[in-house]
C-alpha cells in the first residue's frame, strides 16, 4: 500500500458515517453481535476503556467516593415511585418476565413466570436510593458518596457502535447530602472532573454547561453536561452530572435526623460517563488513516515491529527489539509484536489503531543501534534517531504527540464555532449548508422550540461562561440574556 493513499476504504469527506464505522473496523475495536443492538467490545477497544476507567476511578476515589455493586434487575413497582423519572425510560426498558426455559415442540420457550416483572437497569437512582434510605439515619451518616462500574440496558431502536447501543458500559456515581448547597457543589465538582477528563486527558474540544430545563435528566433539578465537538461539527454529549434535589429522596424515603433534631429529606446527585466516550474519541481525533489516541488512553505508546528476513541475523534483531523495549518501558507502555504476519501489514494495523509511535526494526537499526519510527499524529512523519536519544526523548515525544492532537482538534473546533448568527432565518440557512456550534442568545422561554426540531438542531447547553450581555432571542426575537450553544448532535 502506498503511503500517499489513505489506509481506510472511505474518507471523512466522502461519507462521515461510513468512515466512522471503518475506523472501528480498522482499529478492531468492536463488532456487532447476534443480539440486536448489542456490540462486542474487542480486546483493543476494551483496553482503551480500561485506560479511561483507571484514570476516572482513581480520581473518584481521591475525591472520597467508594465503589459498590447494586442489582442489575429492578422491580417494576419501584419505578412507580418517581413518575417523571420512569416516563423518561419506560419506552426503552428490557423486561424479565420468566425464570426458566422449557423445551417444547423442538424449541426452548420461556417458562415459570415471575410474580412481578423485573426491568434491567436503565440507570440505578431508585435501586441505589432504596439502599441509601436504609443506610442514612442521621446527618452524621452524610454524605454518602458511591459509584459503580456496570452494564446498562436501554432498548434503542436505531443503534450505532459505541454511540448508541442497547447495552453499554458506564460508571454511575450517586451521592446523598445534608444540604442543597453541598449536593450542588458535588454535582459541579464531578462536572469539573468530566470537563478535565474530556478536555485535558482525551484532548477533545468541548463546551461545559447546563442543559436547558426541557432537556434535563428525567427527575433532575439541574443537569450539567460536557458537549464535545466532533469533526463533522456535530455535538456529542460526553458525560453528565445531575443535581436531583429531594425528588428521589422523597420517592424512596431517604430521610435523616438533622442537626435541628427534625427529619429532613436528603439532597442527592448522580453523574455518569459511558463507553460512548470511545465513539467521541474516534470522531474527534481519527483521520482517514484510522484512529489517533491521546497518550493517556493509548493501550501502547510504542509498538516495536521486527523486520525479519529469514536470515541468521533474525535472532539479533529480535534481541535488539527487546533491548529497545527494556530501554523505554519505565516511561511508556511498549509492545513488541512477534506475530507471524508480514511486517508491512503490521505497521498499517498499528496506524489504524492510532498507536503514537510505531518502530520498525531491521538490519539497519540493529547495525547502528538506531530507532526508526512513524509518528502517528504528525502526518505519519518518519524519524530516525539513536536508541539513546529515543529513550531520553520519549517523554518529550509523548507530550508533543498529545499537543499535536490537542491543537489539531482545538483549531478545527474553533473554526466551527459560529458567533454571528442573530435570527432564526440565519440559523436555518447556516444548518442547511453546514454544521457547527452556534453561540446564540435565548430568552429561556420554551416558545418556538419546535422550530429547532425541524432543523434537527437542539440547545446543547447554556455554557458555564455566560457573557451577561443582552441581545435578541434567536427563537422569539424577544430580549434575551442567556448564552446558548445550538448544534446537531449524536
State the residues that interact with a copy of itself by CB under 8 A.
31, 33-35, 38-43, 46-47, 49-50, 66-80, 86, 90-103, 107-110, 117-120, 127, 130-131, 134, 140, 146, 150-151, 153, 155, 167, 169, 339-341
Q: How far is the CB of 266 from a copy of itself (least distance, A)?
A: 17
- DSSP letters along 361-406, please? E-HHHHHTTEEEEEETTTTTEEEEEEHHHHHHHHHHHHHHHHHHHH
Buried residues in 280-301 as b, exposed as e (16+ CB within 10 A): bbbbbbbbbbbbbbbbbbbbbb
User: Which triple of cell numbers denotes residue 106?
Assistant: 423442538
State which residue, 342 or 468, has the beta carbon closest to a copy of itself: 342
State which residue, 70 or 372, has the beta carbon closest to a copy of itself: 70
State which residue, 153 or 244, has the beta carbon closest to a copy of itself: 153
Based on C-alpha coordinates, what's the Rg of the chain? 26
Q: How far is the CB of 90 from a copy of itself (least distance, A)?
A: 4
Whether the CB-CB separation of 95 and 41 falls below 8 Å is answered with: no
Q: How far is the CB of 352 from a copy of itself (least distance, A)?
A: 17
Whether the CB-CB separation of 112 and 156 falls below 8 Å is answered with: no
- CA separation, residue 253 to residues 19, 76, 265, 267 (Å): 49, 17, 7, 11
Other Cβ atoms closer than 10 A to 18: 13
Q: How far is the CB of 70 from a copy of itself (least distance, A)?
A: 5
State which residue, 87 or 456, has the beta carbon closest to a copy of itself: 87
Q: How far is the CB of 14 from a copy of itself (least distance, A)?
A: 27
Q: How far is the CB of 87 from a copy of itself (least distance, A)?
A: 9
Q: How far is the CB of 78 from a copy of itself (least distance, A)?
A: 7
Q: How far is the CB of 123 from a copy of itself (least distance, A)?
A: 14
Three-state DSSP class for residue 329: coil
State which residue, 262 or 341, has the beta carbon closest to a copy of itself: 341
Other Cβ atoms closer than 10 A to 32: 13
Q: How far is the CB of 68 from a copy of itself (least distance, A)?
A: 5
State which residue, 54 or 445, has the beta carbon closest to a copy of itself: 54
Tell me the pairing of strands 381-386 and 370-375: antiparallel
State which residue, 116 or 466, has the beta carbon closest to a copy of itself: 116
State which residue, 89 or 348, has the beta carbon closest to a copy of itself: 89
If we measure between CA atoms, which residue out of 477, 439, 476 comes closest to residue 459? 439
What gap in Å lies between CA 119 and CA 129, rounded to an integer? 16
What gap in Å lies between CA 162 and CA 313, rounded to an integer? 44
Whether the CB-CB separation of 165 and 159 falls below 8 Å is answered with: yes
State which residue, 123 or 131, has the beta carbon closest to a copy of itself: 131
Beta-bridge partners for 384:
372
Amino acid at each position: 500500500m502506498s503511503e500517499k493513499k489513505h489506509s481506510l476504504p472511505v474518507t471523512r469527506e466522502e461519507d462521515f458515517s461510513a468512515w466512522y464505522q471503518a475506523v472501528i473496523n480498522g482499529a478492531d475495536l468492536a463488532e456487532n453481535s447476534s443480539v440486536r443492538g448489542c456490540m462486542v467490545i474487542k480486546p483493543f477497544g476494551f483496553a482503551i476503556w480500561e485506560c479511561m476507567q483507571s484514570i476516572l476511578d482513581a480520581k473518584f476515589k481521591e475525591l472520597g467516593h467508594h465503589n459498590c455493586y447494586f442489582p442489575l434487575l429492578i422491580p417494576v413497582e419501584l419505578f412507580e415511585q418517581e413518575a417523571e423519572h420512569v416516563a423518561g425510560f419506560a419506552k426503552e426498558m428490557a423486561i424479565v418476565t420468566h425464570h426458566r426455559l422449557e423445551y417444547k415442540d423442538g424449541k426452548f420457550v420461556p417458562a415459570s413466570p415471575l410474580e412481578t416483572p423485573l426491568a434491567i437497569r436503565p440507570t440505578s437512582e431508585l435501586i441505589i436510593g432504596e439502599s441509601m434510605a436504609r443506610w442514612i439515619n442521621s446527618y452524621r451518616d452524610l454524605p454518602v458518596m458511591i459509584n459503580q462500574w456496570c452494564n446498562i440496558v436501554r432498548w434503542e431502536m436505531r443503534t450505532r457502535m459505541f454511540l448508541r447501543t442497547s447495552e453499554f458500559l458506564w460508571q454511575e456515581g450517586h451521592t446523598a447530602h445534608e444540604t442543597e448547597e453541598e449536593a450542588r457543589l458535588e454535582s459541579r465538582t464531578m462536572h469539573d472532573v468530566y470537563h478535565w477528563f474530556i478536555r485535558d486527558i482525551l484532548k477533545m474540544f468541548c463546551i461545559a454547561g447546563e442543559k436547558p430545563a426541557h432537556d434535563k435528566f428525567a427527575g433532575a433539578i439541574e443537569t450539567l453536561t460536557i458537549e464535545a465537538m466532533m469533526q463533522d461539527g456535530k455535538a456529542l454529549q460526553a458525560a453528565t452530572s445531575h443535581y436531583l434535589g429531594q425528588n428521589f429522596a422523597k420517592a424512596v424515603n431517604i430521610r435523616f435526623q438533622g442537626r435541628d433534631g427534625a427529619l429532613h429529606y436528603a439532597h442527592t446527585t448522580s453523574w455518569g460517563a459511558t463507553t460512548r466516550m470511545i465513539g467521541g474519541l474516534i470522531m474527534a481525533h481519527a483521520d482517514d488513516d484510522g484512529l489517533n489516541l491521546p497518550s493517556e488512553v493509548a493501550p501502547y505508546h510504542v509498538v516495536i515491529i521486527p523486520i525479519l528476513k529469514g536470515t541468521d541475523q533474525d535472532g539479533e534483531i529480535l534481541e535488539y527489539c527487546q533491548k529497545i523495549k527494556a530501554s523505554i518501558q519505565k516511561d511508556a507502555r511498549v509492545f513488541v509484536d512477534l506475530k507471524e504476519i508480514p511486517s508491512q501489514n503490521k505497521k498499517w494495523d498499528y496506524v489504524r489503531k492510532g498507536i503514537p509511535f510505531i518502530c520498525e526494526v531491521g538490519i539497519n537499526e540493529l547495525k547502528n543501534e538506531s530507532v526508526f519510527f512513524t509518528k502517528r499524529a504528525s502526518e505519519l512523519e518518519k524519524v530516525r534517531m539513536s536508541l539513546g536519544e529515543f529513550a531520553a526523548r520519549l517523554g518529550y515525544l509523548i507530550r508533543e504527540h498529545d499537543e499535536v492532537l490537542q491543537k489539531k482538534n482545538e483549531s478545527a473546533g474553533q473554526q466551527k464555532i459560529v458567533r454571528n448568527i442573530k435570527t432564526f432565518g440565519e440559523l436555518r440557512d447556516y444548518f442547511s449548508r453546514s454544521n457547527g456550534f452556534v453561540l446564540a442568545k435565548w430568552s429561556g422561554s420554551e416558545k418556538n422550540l419546535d422550530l429547532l426540531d425541524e432543523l434537527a438542531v437542539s440547545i446543547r447547553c447554556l455554557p458555564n461562561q455566560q457573557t451577561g450581555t443582552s441581545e435578541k432571542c434567536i427563537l422569539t426575537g424577544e430580549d434575551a440574556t442567556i448564552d446558548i450553544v445550538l448544534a446537531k448532535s449524536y
